[in-house]
């Protein structure tokens, strides 16, 4: 049984529980999603669906302040960053509203040399299930729902149990934008009910963003029922510094890479791999900059670092740090902890024998490595079970291209952080999952690429 309740991590205040859907309501939702796909989706054009998605984008902009304050309460995101998430979310919906027709246009098979013509026509699959996390409550949904509703798939959305208010606010926007009741449905469901939905033959695919454990469980169940799955799981992204002509700017980027969203992002820079000639200067300035940001009230518009999402998250991160130290890691810098308000921690002397070398730290904890050359930097960067994103800083373009080719990750960002954009595909490899969201590739995951061959 899941408990859907808002617990403000900054204050401990709790909302009244949100009622979980009954099994009968879940069954009705699946049937409605299927029927809506059979009727509304197949009777509307891409242009019509795109116009509705643009209305969803506009409602995000109109309700910007209200939406941002909800997620500050739900998971402690600093207000300025919450407003930024709402803005980015609106841009994602607008992106697919603008480009959906072009992405889904018939594609001639230019290599075909036979009589007549042959082309690919893209069409929807049916009802899809989305299982979303708490750390980016609006943005994560937009990456999944935006392209698929333009395509014509219908959405069953199960959000994290600590995000029931934002989940309800999103569902209302789809209705207010003019989507029919079965196009997008929010579900307050537990894991047993989700398993029933995945097994239902009317549901054609599943997208999950979350932990490795959750991803493995859903992928196993979906595979048993021959369902397409997209997974965006954990990450321990390397931040590789080989050269820089502005150390202060590089350190500023490193702080953002580690601590944006209170350090709770799958694609945050978590392992800082620094060439020995820059190591001492970087470590000193980086540690000082991290400690200068003291966790404070997330509703204050000047706050950069707020609380972790829950007491459990803070306790779990504390245990990881303690275990790393017990295994031989050195604490170079650390601020105070006050409940969920978790100050930054900098650890060095991490070795492959330690748990910390292979784990994801979901909070403001940075691991800093010293390497002697480019080859060792690449080796350390790739010595991880994850492969989501990566950050590479170098003033040598040839080196950038050489190292970027060797990094085992789904994304490489060079000489900058926070470079995500609706146009750019997002996703990883190894235990970070598979499939892509955003950009043109984000609308290609749950699609029927139907061959049409016409003989003269």
448/410 same-domain check: no
Check whether residue 156 and residue 295 sit in a common domain.
Answer: no
Tokens of 295: 């966790």
The answer to whether residue 191 is domain-embedded is yes
Query: pTM score, two decimals?
Result: 0.97
SS3 150: helix
* Dihedral sign from CA coordinates of 344, 348, 354, 358: positive
- 289-330 residue pLDDT tens: 999 999 999 999 999 999 999 999 999 999 999 999 999 999
Would the pLDDT of 348 be above 90? yes
Going by C-alpha positions, the residue among 110, 106, 100 that lies closest to residue 120 is 106
- Tell me, yes or no, whether 68 and 191 share the same domain: yes
Model pLDDT for residues 209-258, shown as the tens digit of each residue: 999 999 999 999 999 999 999 999 999 999 999 999 999 999 999 999 99
Q: Is residue 122 a part of any domain in this protein?
A: yes
DSSP state for residue 239 in the 8-state scheme = E
Nearest to 365 by CA among 218, 227, 259: 259
Closest-CA residue to 175 (of 31, 36, 27): 36
**174 and 190 inside one domain:** yes
Separation CA 93–CA 359 (nearest Å): 33
Going by pLDDT thresholds of 50, 70 and 90, the confidence category of residue 360 is very high
Six-digit token pair at 421? 């954009």
* Model pLDDT, residue 405: 98
| Secondary element (H or E) of residue 404 | helix 397-406
Catalytic annotation present for 360: no
Which tokens belong to 35?
Answer: 């029927």
Structural domain includes residue 5: no
Distance (Å, whole) CA 259 – CA 289: 11
Q: Mean of the per-residue pLDDT values for the chain? A: 97
Which residue, 189, 33, 165, 166, is CA-closest to 89? 166
DSSP state letters, 288-304: HHHHHS----TTSTT-S
Do 257 and 289 fall into the same domain?
yes
User: What are the beta bridge partners of residue 342?
Assistant: 337
**Model confidence over 86-101: pLDDT tens digits?**
999 999 999 999 999 9
Do 219 and 141 share a structural domain? Answer: yes
Token readout for 379 is 């080796």
Domain that holds residue 304: 237-422
Residue 18 lies in a domain: no
Distance CA 374, CA 340 (A): 38
15 found inside a domain: no
Give the residue from 40, 2, 127, 199 showing the smallest Cα distance to 446.
Answer: 127
Per-residue pLDDT band at 456 (split at 50, 70, 90): confident
- Per-residue pLDDT reduced to its tens digit, 21-32: 999 999 999 999
**Domains: count for the chain:** 2
Answer whether residue 7 is part of any domain. Answer: no
In a domain, 443, yes or no: yes
DSSP tag of 357: G
Same domain, 122 and 185: yes
Q: Where are the strands (E) in 395-436, listed by range?
A: 413-414, 429-430, 433-434
Within-domain flag for 44: yes
In this prediction, residue 251 carries a pLDDT of 98
Closest among 239, 241, 331, 238 to 277, alpha carbons compared:
241
Tell me the per-residue pLDDT of 405-442, one tens digit each, with 9 for 90 and over. 999 999 999 999 999 999 999 999 999 999 999 999 99
Q: How confident is the model at residue 343 (pLDDT cuts 50, 70, 90)?
A: very high
Pair (48, 192) in one structural domain: yes
Q: How much is the pLDDT for 138?
A: 98
Regarding whether 176 and 58 lie in a shared domain, the answer is yes
Verify whether residue 445 is a known catalytic residue: no
- The pLDDT value given to residue 1: 61
State the catalytic residue, choosing from 54, 232, 360, 437. Answer: 232
Give mean pLDDT, residues 73-83: 98
Q: How would you class 38 by CB atoms within 10 Å of its CB: exposed for 0-12, middle for 13-18, buried for 19 or more? A: middle
Reference 154, options 43, 47, 38; nearest CA is: 38
Query: Looking at residue 152, which CATH number applies to its domain?
Result: 3.40.605.10
Same domain, 390 and 247: yes
Q: Does 192 share its domain with 86?
A: yes
Reported as a pLDDT band with limits 50, 70 and 90, residue 2 is confident
CATH of the domain at 266: 3.40.309.10
Residues comprising the chain, all counted: 456
Q: Is the pLDDT of residue 194 over 80?
A: yes
**Is there a single domain that holds both residue 162 and residue 303?**
no
Share of the chain above pLDDT 70, in %: 100
pLDDT more than 90, % of the chain: 99
| Catalytic-role residue among 85, 266, 374, 445 | 266
Per-residue pLDDT reduced to its tens digit, 101-151:
999 999 999 999 999 999 999 999 999 999 999 999 999 999 999 999 999
Burial 165-193 (b: 16+ CB within 10 A, else e): bbbbbbbebbeebebbebbbbbbbbbeeb
């Amino acid at each position: 049984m899941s408990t859907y309740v808002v617990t403000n991590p900054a204050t401990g205040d709790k909302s009244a529980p949100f009622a979980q859907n009954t099994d009968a309501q879940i069954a009705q939702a699946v049937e409605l999603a299927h029927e809506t796909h059979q009727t509304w989706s197949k009777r509307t054009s891409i242009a019509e669906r795109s116009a509705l998605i643009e209305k969803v984008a506009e409602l995000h902009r109109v309700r910007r302040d209200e939406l941002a304050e909800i997620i500050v309460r739900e998971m402690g995101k600093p207000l300025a960053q919450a407003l930024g998430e709402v803005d980015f979310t609106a841009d994602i919906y607008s992106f697919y509203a603008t480009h959906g027709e072009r992405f889904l246009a018939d594609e001639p098979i230019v290599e075909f040399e036979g009589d007549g013509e042959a082309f690919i026509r893209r069409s929807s699959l049916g009802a899809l299930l989305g299982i979303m996390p708490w750390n980016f409550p609006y943005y994560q949904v937009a990456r999944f729902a935006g392209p698929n509703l333009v395509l014509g798939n219908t959405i069953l959305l199960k959000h994290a149990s600590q995000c029931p208010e934002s989940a309800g606010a999103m569902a209302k926007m789809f209705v207010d934008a003019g989507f029919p009741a079965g196009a997008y449905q929010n579900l307050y469901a537990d894991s047993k009910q989700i398993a029933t939905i995945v097994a239902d033959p009317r549901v054609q695919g599943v997208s999950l963003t979350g932990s490795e454990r959750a991803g493995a469980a859903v992928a196993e169940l979906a595979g048993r029922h021959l369902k397409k799955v997209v997974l965006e799981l954990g990450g321990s992204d390397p931040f590789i510094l080989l050269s820089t002509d502005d150390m202060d700017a590089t350190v500023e980027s490193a702080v953002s890479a580690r601590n944006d969203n209170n350090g709770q992002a799958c694609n945050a820079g978590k392992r800082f791999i620094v060439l020995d000639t820059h190591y001492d200067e970087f470590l000193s300035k980086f540690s000082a900059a991290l400690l200068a940001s003291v966790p404070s009230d997330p509703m204050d518009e000047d706050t950069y670092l707020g609380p972790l999402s829950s007491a459990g998250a803070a306790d779990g991160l504390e245990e990881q740090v303690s275990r790393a130290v017990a295994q031989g890691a050195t604490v170079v810098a650390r601020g105070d902890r006050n409940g969920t308000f978790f100050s930054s921690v900098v650890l060095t002397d991490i070795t492959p024998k330690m748990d910390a070398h292979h784990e994801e730290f979901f909070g403001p904890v940075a691991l800093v490595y010293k390497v002697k050359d480019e080859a060792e930097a690449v080796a350390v960067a790739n010595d991880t079970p994850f492969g989501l994103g990566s950050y590479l800083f170098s003033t040598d373009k040839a080196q950038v291209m050489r190292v970027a080719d060797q990094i085992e990750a789904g994304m490489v960002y060079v000489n900058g952080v926070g470079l995500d954009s609706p146009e750019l595909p997002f996703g990883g490899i190894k235990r970070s999952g598979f499939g892509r969201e955003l950009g043109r590739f984000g609308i290609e995951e749950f699609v029927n690429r139907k061959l049409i061959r016409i003989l003269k």
